[in-house]
Structure 1
Amino acid sequence: MFSTTWQDAFDEFLLVKQAEGRSPRTLKDYRRHVPAFFQEHPNTWPDVPALKRAVAAHFAAFHDKSATYYNLRREYLKAFFAWCVEEEYLPMNPVKGIPKRKNDGTPRNLDADTLKRLLELPDCTTYAGLRDLALMLLQLDTGIRPGEALALLPAHVNLTALEVTIPSTTAKTRTARTVVMSPQTAKAIRKLLTCRPEDWTGDVPVFASTSGRKMDAIHWGHRLAAYGQQLGTRITPYMLRHTSAILFLRGGGHVFALQRQMGHASLTMTKRYVHLAESDLHEQHAVASPVGQILPQHTRARKVGRG
């Protein structure tokens, strides 16, 4: 008699992943995506044909989701079911045969006018407003991932050196790195830190909630979405990261410096930003054409009759 429930298998799976050294963010994503499937299809385990039908229906209903979200849910479910096959809880993986959705990988960025208006919205007479502005500036200045930024402690910020250290325990790639910020961003963070209650210790994150708790990326996403509604446009935490990369390259930054700043394990993702940054090449060339600077185009002479 089959006695292991999907919940039992999932709890064991999480322990294994934790023992493998998976990041807290990855474990949190597993807890979000896998149970979400079984909440919709609770009576399918361990019937593989039923699971296969449920998986197909589950992803068919994702037509309004982005390719990134679709592929992420598929990745986590597939990994869990693959482990179940290895442990002989299931005879086959029900996600097998469900293809990834094509993602053009084009980063979504914000234009300069939207950015300027966005930075004017936070109410800096409140702690929440100071925090939001400082976090916006840090993401725009460094391209730091939202999860990495929200895990920063005061000890990770060196305002004098204009540096922020992202420890390996919170970095997505599990590799520590140091990012550089501007004096303007350092000033905003310094102001935020001086407004912290005296009883907040060093283990309270830099960008904490008003109660001193760690904010998560979902909460930060809701904050930005609310600001976006005021502007009549969509704004997400990762749009700030994408915008940072594109503006860095358009400002003359080196691609290898961008790779280090963004924390990319390889140049594959960085090159996507390069492609987008070069998409306005005609516009930039019209402004900065070397020949145009040497031989400026004169106003065309009016046509006159022969003398």
Structure 2
Amino acid sequence: MGKVLKIVQPKTWKEYFSDFLLEKQIAGCRKRTLRDYRYHITRFFDGLELEDWEGIQERLKEYFPPDLAPATFNIRRAYLKAFFSYLVKQGAIPQNPITFKKRKDEGKARAIPQEVLKKLLELPNKATYTGLRDYVLILFTLDTGIRPKEALSLLPEHFNLEAREVTVPGGIAKTKATRTLPLSPLTVQWLKKLLKVRPPEWGDAPVFCSQDGKAILETSWSHRLASYSKRLGHKITPYDLRHSFALHSLRNGISPFALQRILGHTDLTMTKRYLALTQEDLQKEHEKTSPVNFFTTKRMRKLR
């Protein structure tokens, strides 16, 4: 009797992706990064197989339209390129189809007017836990310029309210570098109130958690701010609060180097975005207040 030959079926992209995620997990990728890989890869490959090379090429055109924002474009590119590189290494595909470069992201920081920020802080109902949490989180972000994800990951142990400071550990910080941020007395006062209403059974839940003592996602916080935005008639995102801290601090005289350390920028490149905008402010103020305007106006009257 002859030998029975087993026909080994090629692995599907899902099988490769499972191995890929395991490799990333062992390498120390954060839970959020793994979650983002799942989102982008499964969304891209929906209805596709590795053998469908033409389909992959067409999907790339759909997934990276010309009008896609640079930040979104670069995020999608990074996750897909990493997985495609893995597939090439495993011999599953002949080459990485991501051959295009990243798009230059100039970024657009904007400061929310102070009168709008004041109205925003009046909206949360501080008589409820979620309203109190929202109020303190807005105040805390405006006081520190912390990134939304970093703020939502902070635990009670990271705060030293007597010293009026909070430490953002490397495991939480985007740059993986620990930094300590100063806190204003008003922010400390409200943080104490928020921590005081926490039930003991919440234990080590994040400081800015849900009413059930569970961590909340950055998207959930964005939705909360979106609901306030509708009532306010002014669009506000979590990163708008960070940008407002940076721009208002520069206008009030903070050193760019101090701002760089507080914001957690690895160098001054990102901080310069805010400096450029304050330079625009300077030009506008100069146009309005220059003494030359007096002479120009006077001369124009004479010419008339």
TM-score, with structure 2 as normaliser: 0.88
Which residue number corresponds to residue 215 of structure 1?
A: 216
Which residue number corresponds to residue 152 of structure 1?
A: 154
Which residue number corresponds to residue 122 of structure 1?
A: 124
Give how far 1:93 is off: 1.3
Which residue number corresponds to residue 228 of structure 1?
A: 229
Answer yes or no: is 1:205 the counterpart of 2:212: no
- Report if aligned partners of 1:107, 1:239 keep a CA contact under 8 Å in 2: yes
Which residue number corresponds to residue 113 of structure 2?
A: 111
Which consecutive residues of structure 2, in runs of 5 or more, have no partner in the other structure?
Answer: 1-7
Give how far 1:284 is off: 4.4
Distance 1:210 1:66 in 2: 34
Q: 1:26 and 1:288, CA in 2 relative to 1: closer, same or farther beyond 3 A?
A: farther
Percent identity of equivalent pairs: 46
- Report if aligned partners of 1:23, 1:170 keep a CA contact under 8 Å in 2: no
Distance 2:193 2:280 in 1: 37
- Report if aligned partners of 1:127, 1:210 keep a CA contact under 8 Å in 2: yes
Distance 1:215 1:288 in 2: 47
Structure 1, 85-94 or 167-176: larger mean CA deviation: 85-94
Report the AA paired with residue 125 of structure 2.
Answer: D
Secondary structure of 1:179 counterpart: strand
Distance 1:37 1:186 in 2: 45
Q: 1:109 and 1:8, CA in 2 relative to 1: closer, same or farther beyond 3 A?
A: farther
- Describe the superposition over 1:194-225 as per-residue Cα deviations: whole angstroms up to 9, x where unpaired: 11123221x11100000100011010010011
Which residue number corresponds to residue 49 of structure 1?
A: 54
Q: 1:2 and 1:108, CA in 2 relative to 1: closer, same or farther beyond 3 A?
A: farther
Report the AA paired with residue 96 of structure 2.
Answer: N
Give how far 1:227 is off: 0.7
Give how far 1:33 is off: 1.6
Give how far 1:13 is off: 1.6
Which residue number corresponds to residue 87 of structure 1?
A: 90
Distance 1:129 1:288 in 2: 42
Structure 1, 76-85 or 122-131: larger mean CA deviation: 76-85
- Report if aligned partners of 2:152, 2:216 keep a CA contact under 8 Å in 1: yes
- Describe the superposition over 1:243-290 as per-residue Cα deviations: whole angstroms up to 9, x where unpaired: 11111111111111111111111211111111112210034457998x
Secondary structure of 1:199 counterpart: helix
TM-score, with structure 1 as normaliser: 0.87
Equivalent runs, 1:1-307 vs 2, <5 Å? 2-39=9-46, 42-60=47-65, 63=67, 65-97=68-100, 99-201=101-203, 203-285=204-286
Q: 1:212 and 1:241, CA in 2 relative to 1: closer, same or farther beyond 3 A?
A: same
Give the length in aligned residue pairs: 293
Distance 2:162 2:284 in 1: 38
